[in-house]
């Protein structure tokens, strides 16, 4: 067992372990630590606790000291200078005519490095910009290009749910999100309703994906036929995923009357959706945007000099490759292959 504390850095959600060096720290205390990026100030989120040694990833570094009033004054000065750095950097970007959007700047605690975060549509040659900034701030300059999700994480904000953004509060890593998750949860496919502030699909679609995937596997597909407890056959018109209830349309063959009844999924007999989905994938490939990264064998193009898509040999007996011919080409080929009667007559005459 080893005694550690958990700390978080500015604009970071992940928790990192450090050795408290015998200090009793509480949640919310500030400490000065040494990282791979230099000296930084961090906030304690996990007080002194004992964990197994195998839970510590990498080297367990000790804290340098507990932050005091001088350290807090240094932080305030850094925050003030960061605003001035953003203003100056934007002016230099405009002077250079660079196609980049500056998000924010961040000073290292010991002011040995100044980092600028920006977004851009493509690669940007900012070498001359770095020289300009280094001559002004007299410190090491780092320009870091980030994506739209990282931009939203740095800036923060309030989501459509009325709470702080997950990426800015507790989400440690961005998970891949697909439109299939919205379909699985029967959500509206309106991009304005299922997209976050960053313009991408909301990360919270992944939170309940496993639950909805399991519940949907227990339900029949819409428009599929099921057998009711009374022994009648009906067509599924709608399903309630959370309540696990199914609406079935029953029709009378004699009077052509239709009736809609609700049943619990346990009362019905049907082919499980998982089997239907597997069969559909076997026939038509992945469903709902689950496209494979590898090219499908069904759409593989014939190689040059190889075989055609239908599997038949594309070469003739003479070893030459046959091609699809149109009416004119067929007529021209017949005329070309037609025996030359004039040459035959000359040969007969010479023989005579």
Q: For 204-236, write each residue's pLDDT tens digit.
A: 999 889 999 999 888 898 888 999 888 888 899
Q: With 90 as the cut, is the pLDDT of residue 323 above it? A: no
Q: What percent of the chain has pLDDT over 90?
A: 35
pLDDT given for residue 307 in this prediction: 40
pLDDT given for residue 291 in this prediction: 33
Question: Which residues have CB under 8 Å from 41's CB, separation 6+?
Answer: 10, 30, 31, 32, 33, 67, 71, 75, 109
* Topology match between the domains 74-146 and 219-276: no
> Angle at which helices 127-137 and 69-96 pack, to 10 degrees?
140
**CA dist 11 → 37, 178, 223, 254 (Å):** 14, 26, 49, 70
The domain spans of the chain are: 2-67, 74-146, 165-217, 219-276
pLDDT category of residue 274 using cuts at 50, 70 and 90? low
How does pLDDT run across 288-303, given as a tens digit for each residue? Answer: 333 333 333 333 333 4
pTM of the model: 0.64
How does pLDDT run across 56-108, given as a tens digit for each residue? Answer: 887 889 999 999 999 999 999 999 999 999 999 999 999 999 999 999 999 99
Q: With 60 as the cut, is the pLDDT of residue 147 above it? A: yes
Q: With 60 as the cut, is the pLDDT of residue 316 above it? A: no
**Under CATH, to which class is 74-146 assigned?**
alpha beta
Q: CATH for 219-276, among 2.60.40, 1.10.150, 2.30.30, 2.40.128?
A: 2.30.30
The mean predicted confidence, pLDDT, of the chain is 79
Paired strand residues for 114: 107, 141
């Amino acid at each position: 067992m080893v005694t550690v504390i958990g700390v978080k850095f500015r604009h970071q959600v992940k928790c990192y372990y450090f050795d408290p060096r015998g200090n009793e720290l509480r949640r919310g205390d500030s400490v000065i630590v040494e990282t791979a990026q230099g000296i930084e100030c961090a906030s304690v989120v996990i007080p002194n606790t004992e964990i197994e040694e195998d839970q510590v990833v990498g080297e367990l570094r000790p804290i340098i000291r507990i932050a005091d009033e001088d350290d807090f004054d240094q932080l305030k000065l850094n925050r003030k200078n960061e605003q001035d750095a953003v203003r100056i950097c934007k002016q230099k970007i405009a002077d250079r005519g660079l196609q980049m959007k500056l998000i924010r700047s961040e000073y290292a605690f010991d002011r040995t490095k100044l980092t600028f975060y920006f977004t851009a549509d493509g690669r940007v040659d900012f070498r001359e910009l770095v020289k300009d900034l280094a001559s002004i701030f007299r410190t090491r300059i780092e320009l870091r290009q980030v994506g739209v999700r990282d931009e939203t994480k740095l800036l923060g904000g309030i989501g459509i749910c009325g709470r702080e953004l997950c990426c800015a509060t507790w989400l440690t890593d961005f998970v891949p999100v697909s439109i299939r998750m919205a379909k699985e949860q029967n959500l509206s496919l309106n991009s304005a309703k299922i997209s976050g502030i960053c313009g991408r699909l909301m990360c919270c679609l992944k939170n309940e994906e496993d639950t909805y995937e399991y519940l949907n596997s227990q339900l029949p597909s819409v428009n599929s036929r099921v057998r009711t407890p009374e022994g009648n056959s009906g067509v599924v018109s709608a399903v309630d995923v959370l309540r696990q209830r199914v609406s079935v349309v029953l029709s009378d063959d004699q009077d052509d009357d239709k009736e809609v009844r609700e049943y619990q999924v346990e009362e019905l007999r049907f082919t499980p959706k998982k089997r239907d989905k597997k069969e559909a994938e076997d026939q038509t490939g992945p469903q709902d945007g689950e496209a494979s990264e590898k090219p499908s064998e069904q759409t593989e193009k014939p190689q040059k000099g190889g075989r055609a898509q239908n599997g038949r040999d594309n070469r003739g007996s003479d070893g030459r490759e046959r091609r699809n011919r149109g009416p004119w080409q067929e007529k021209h080929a017949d005329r070309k292959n037609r025996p030359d009667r004039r040459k035959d007559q000359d040969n007969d005459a010479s023989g005579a």
